[in-house]
Amino acid sequence: MTATVPAPDMAEPRRERVLMKGNQAIAEAAIQAGCDAYFGYPITPQAELLEWMAKRMPQLGRAFVQAESELGAINMALGAAATGARVMVSTSSPGMSLMAEAMSYMAGSETPVVLVNVMRGGPGLGSIGPSQSDYFQATKGHGHGDYRVPVLAPASIGEAVELVATAFELAERYRTPVILLADGIQGQAMEPVEPQFRTPERRTFDWALTGADGRAPRVVRSLHLLPEVLEEHNRALQAKFAEITANEVRWAGEQLDDADLVIVAYGTAARVAHSAVALARQQGIRAGLFRPISLWPYPESALREVACRVRGVLCVELSAGQMVEDVRLAVEGRCPVAFHGRTGGMVPTPDEVLDVLRELDDGGRS
Amino acid sequence: MTVATPGPRVIYQRPEVLVDRSSHYCPGCGHGIIHRVLAEVLTDLGLAPRTIAVAAVGCSVFAYEYLALDFVEAPHGRAPAVATGVRRVRPDAFVLTYQGDGDLAAIGTAEIVHAAARGELITTIFVNNGIYGMTGGQMAPTTLLGQKTTSSPAGRDARSAGYPILMTEMLALLPGVAYAARGSVSDPGRIGKMKAMVRKACQAQIDGAGFSIVEVLSTCPVGWGMTAPDSMAHLSEVSEVYPLGVLADRTGGAT
């Protein structure tokens, strides 16, 4: 999978390209994907997503509620999703912390909800600048208990549009919450998008609450007080996570075939890395880019395979070093793993990353 | 001349919504009575086939074991938010929450206040027994002053633990609230009145009048350290702090 811009084909009819802000594009993609209900709470830098929904959802006769808190929003989502509705919530980092509680309940009760986290700087109130410092939280953290949740990380607004539909598909196919992990730049920046909206097919759910009319009552629950019953439930959940791990790994590569040094980066950091790779190539450094799109399940074996044939891997993040732990686990010592990160809303420049690549290149040759 | 003798007539039976099984509730606990009253009202009004209920955290989380209804389990305190989500995507459903006082009056204050303020078309049964029963009898926001619990062993002292919270009076102030009332399980007469309140609260939702809530003063003999009969008798003291009656009625005279 290589992200490339196709050359314009003049024989084809002119395709529609529109300039869209990331937050709005994600919101519209959800609407086009058939989202029945949206619940949110204002927080920068995702407020435009809520505002777009506030305007569009009532126009379409769909549900929109500005909740009293992120706790309220995510629990409204839990309730709506328990009836089989297609549901989205969105927030930014501090709000994600509040939503953590319900993430655990939704994972336990297998409730399909798509959650968008437009990450900002932390910890605490942090900043409203772009950040990737919620990687741990998204991939390993949020609520209590033994569970996993698919995490999708787009690197462009166009890809975000596609991944919104994918997120709904995964949520409904596997009965699970799904996180779309973006950052403040992706939320706020405008990019020309060729909106290729997609509406996932509707499934019928034998668990959805519709009222026990002529059938046995249904209960959407996460409480199983008997240890043997809960262990059985947890085994079933783990089997589902194994199935997701086997089937839903997503990643993209650029110039990996002859690469000597490979940058591993996702989201906005991958955009910077893309430019750094181009600069490096101009200087004769055979650099490539490995871009995880699913952060869980992590493209572990694909990255390991790449690591076997390069001199080194450089992980670039808008954090103090979070994904790099998964990179090291995947690489399993097959080559050196370096890290470069900026935090607090700072974004590395391509030149800055190039400098690190050059050092690694020199180090490898000396 | 022969006089026709009337055959046996059923005047009292298990409502179909109430599942025929023994409960896990302690002897003297009011949940059984309240479950039955709710089951009778839902059966009478024919609401069960379109009911989606929200179970809250506490002893009553197992309400779905006894009420034959579709249920979703909410995190502690969040039932009104969960019910809001159900309501907004299922306009034809009858939506209710069944919450205890720890759930509604402590951890879930924001959710209940805002669901009521939005005038959500949901009905809340708020069971107030003044204690955290499931976790072993700790002080609740509704615990009476001076009352001994496992976390107020010397009795609740207003200086350190504040005052009993009158949630339903507070909620009754909100224009989104169509009906708010407080009843009790203390004796058959009051149970009958409480049933009329529950019926009225359900009717408020059916009529689209707004949010409705019935607080029910109930017992926790184990948590209170009383016998079952003593705990029922104690409810008269409780109702001095939490007066019984209708606290708001904006249903416009609908019955």
Report the domain count for chain A: 2
Proportion of chain B above pLDDT 90, given as a percent: 94
For chain B, what are the domain ranges?
A: 31-249
Quick count: other Cβ atoms within 10 Å of Cβ A28? 22
| Minimal Cβ distance to A219: which of B64, B86, B114 | B64
Helix H, strand E, coil C: the string for B111-153 is HHHHHHHCCCCCEEEEEECCEECCCCCEECCCCCCCCCECCEC
CB contact under 8 A, B85 and A87: yes
Outline where DSSP puts E strands in chain B. 51-55, 70-73, 94-100, 123-128, 131-132, 138-139, 177-184, 211-217, 245-249
For the segment A122-144, what is each residue's pLDDT rounded down to a tens digit?
999 999 999 999 999 999 988 99
CB contact under 8 A, A79 and B73: no
Interface residues of A toward B, Cβ cutoff 8 Å, are 36-37, 39, 63, 65, 67-69, 71-73, 75-83, 85, 87, 101-102, 105, 109, 209-214, 217-223
Residue A218 has pLDDT above 90, yes or no: yes
For the segment B82-123, what is each residue's pLDDT rounded down to a tens digit?
999 999 999 999 999 999 999 999 999 999 999 999 999 999
For the segment B187-228, what is each residue's pLDDT rounded down to a tens digit?
999 999 999 999 999 999 999 999 999 999 999 999 999 999
Question: Does A193 share its domain with A306?
Answer: no
Question: Does A73 share its domain with A191?
Answer: yes
| Residue B3: predicted pLDDT | 67
The CATH class that applies to domain B31-249 reads alpha beta
Size of interface A-B (CB pairs under 8 A): 135
For the segment A225-276, what is each residue's pLDDT rounded down to a tens digit?
999 999 999 999 999 999 999 999 999 999 999 999 999 999 999 999 999 9
Residues linked to residue A296 through DSSP beta bridges, in sequence order? A151
By C-alpha distance, the chain A residue nearest B61 is: A223
Question: Does A190 share its domain with A262?
Answer: no
Residues of A in contact with B71 (CB under 8 A): 209, 217-221
Record the pTM.
0.95
Residue A8 has pLDDT above 60, yes or no: no
Pairwise CA distance, residues A210 & B52, whole Å: 7
Outline where DSSP puts E strands in chain A. 18-21, 37-40, 63-66, 87-91, 114-119, 151-152, 178-183, 190-193, 219-220, 251-254, 261-264, 287-292, 294-296, 312-317, 337-341
Mutation target among A57, A74, A83 for the B interface, most CBs of B within 10 A: A83
Question: Does A301 share its domain with A174?
Answer: no
CATH number at residue A299: 3.40.50.920
CA distance B186 to chain A (A): 31
CATH number at residue A86: 3.40.50.970
Q: B52 CB contacts (<8 Å, ≥6 apart)?
A: A82, A83, A209, A210, A211, B69, B70, B71, B72, B86, B90, B93, B94, B95
- Long-range Cβ contacts of A273-280 (<8 Å, 24+ apart): A273/A316, A273/A353, A275/A350, A276/A316, A276/A350, A276/A351, A276/A353, A276/A354, A276/A357, A278/A350, A279/A350, A279/A351, A279/A354, A280/A354, A280/A357, A280/A358, A280/A361
User: Pick the residue with more confidence: A362 or A253?
Assistant: A253
| Residue A366: predicted pLDDT | 46
Residue A121 lies in a domain: yes
Q: Find how far residue A333's CA is from the centre of its chain.
A: 27
